[in-house]
Chains A and B, each alone.
Chain A
């Protein structure tokens, strides 16, 4: 059994509980053991640094890494904004001695220290590299045959650290994962387009306009559902799909799922692991042939 530390992040406790539930269940089914980092704090996302600056935000993020270091396990992240914060901070600890010394000086004020010994990884990458497509295929009980999936990787997942596990311009790994589940990955030029991120409250129009382009591209490719690794992408598309329709006179009704929810369906895990009731745009019809339970 492979072991990891888990950094859930704020959204998984609130708007993206479906992400957490499906990640935990899928990990278990694949024999991956995830241990939540005790008393973790918010990473600051891409917002905190706009108020207090990158350094303070990265030190705050590093408190989590310092706590995790006691166990020495790779840190697994689901949210792509958390990933950006943690992975970039971690990289600076490894590559920039001056930064590391300064950051540890700040951490020491709270009694923490981080050596930079851990790896920060996305759950998507862990599933692909540590488990592998063959084992995933072997675990599938209900192949998603006939399901056309637009693999929406989003922006930060592949661009936080370019080429770390996929091409930042034209990512393909998520599509391969969908194929391993038996589904068909559709043509989807907007697969790495930004969803508008944290602008949902303050500048909703940005999210609506971005989401429109993404929905348009996904439906041109003939997708039945959109799959994503990111809580922010999921929420922005799911919550604003109808406002897109109002503004653009369109008729989109694509369900947006975490890739882990589709894995839970293909692995035939219980309804609680699939967590489909959290979807605002109902996925039940699109997934009817795979025996999903309400």
Chain B
């Protein structure tokens, strides 16, 4: 059998950047046991299980990690976090990876558009209005999604019929100005701490 003797390329910069994210340093605790992989609700449709993703991060495989659908298919179900024998808060690491992916232009997955749409609603109103999130989502995703939207028509109509889909958004919260100030401050503090 032919041996692959190519030396593994370590991009330590990438690993270091990830370890510097809010929950990134926990990745170093991972002992590759695989508990998260067998526990994960959506493992079947992930490019890599959390275990493999963490290994790729250690190896500095930036493109593989950032282009993976793993974090986007994570549903934040907490199963892995509750089970990880090394106490890695895997779902929080996934949040960091999503944020890092969006900031670094790896945001092609539809979930990334949904996340951005959701955040725009929260930041602009203080509350989430599903109609607003959906509209923003389709704006971000463009015409490609229209076909899919048509397939969902029945679901939407049924929701309307059973008063599950208000057509008008909730009022903005009164403290929206203050909320914006604390969000801005929180982001400053986070940047300060990351240094």
CB within 8 Å for A194 and B79 given contacts A39-B174, A106-B185? yes
The main secondary structure of chain B at its interface with chain A is helix
The main secondary structure of chain A at its interface with chain B is helix
Q: What is the distance, in angstroms, from A131's C-beta to the closest C-beta of chain B?
A: 27
| Chain B CB within 8 A of A145 CB | no
Distance, CA A288 to CA B170, complexed state (A): 35
| Chain A CB within 8 A of B115 CB | yes
Chain A residues in 8 Å Cβ range of B128: 10, 42, 45
Chain B residues in 8 Å Cβ range of A13: 127, 166, 170
Distance, CA A71 to CA B186, complexed state (A): 25
| Chain B CB within 8 A of A41 CB | yes
Is there contact, CB below 8 Å, between B134 and A50? no
Q: What is the distance, in angstroms, from A217's C-beta to the closest C-beta of chain B?
A: 14
Interface residues of B in 159-195 (CB under 8 A from A): 159, 161-166, 170, 173-175, 177-179, 181-187, 189-190, 193
Q: What is the distance, in angstroms, from A162's C-beta to the closest C-beta of chain B?
A: 5
Question: Which residues does B use to contact A, with CB under 8 Å?
Answer: 21-23, 41-42, 45, 71-73, 75-79, 81-82, 91-92, 94-96, 98-99, 102, 109-111, 113-116, 118-119, 122, 126-130, 133-134, 137, 148, 152, 154-155, 158-159, 161-166, 170, 173-175, 177-179, 181-187, 189-190, 193
Is there contact, CB below 8 Å, between B126 and A55? no
Chain A residues in 8 Å Cβ range of B114: 47, 198, 201-202
Can you list 20 contacts pairing A with B, beta carbon distance less than 8 Å? A15-B159, A17-B164, A40-B173, A41-B179, A44-B122, A49-B95, A50-B102, A52-B187, A53-B96, A60-B186, A109-B181, A110-B177, A155-B78, A196-B75, A197-B76, A201-B133, A201-B134, A206-B73, A242-B155, A280-B158
CB within 8 Å for A10 and B127 given contacts A41-B179, A107-B182, A109-B182? yes
A84's partner among B41, B78, B170 (CB-CB below 8 A) is: B78
| Chain B CB within 8 A of A253 CB | no
Chain B residues in 8 Å Cβ range of A73: none
B141 to A, closest residue via Cβ: A202
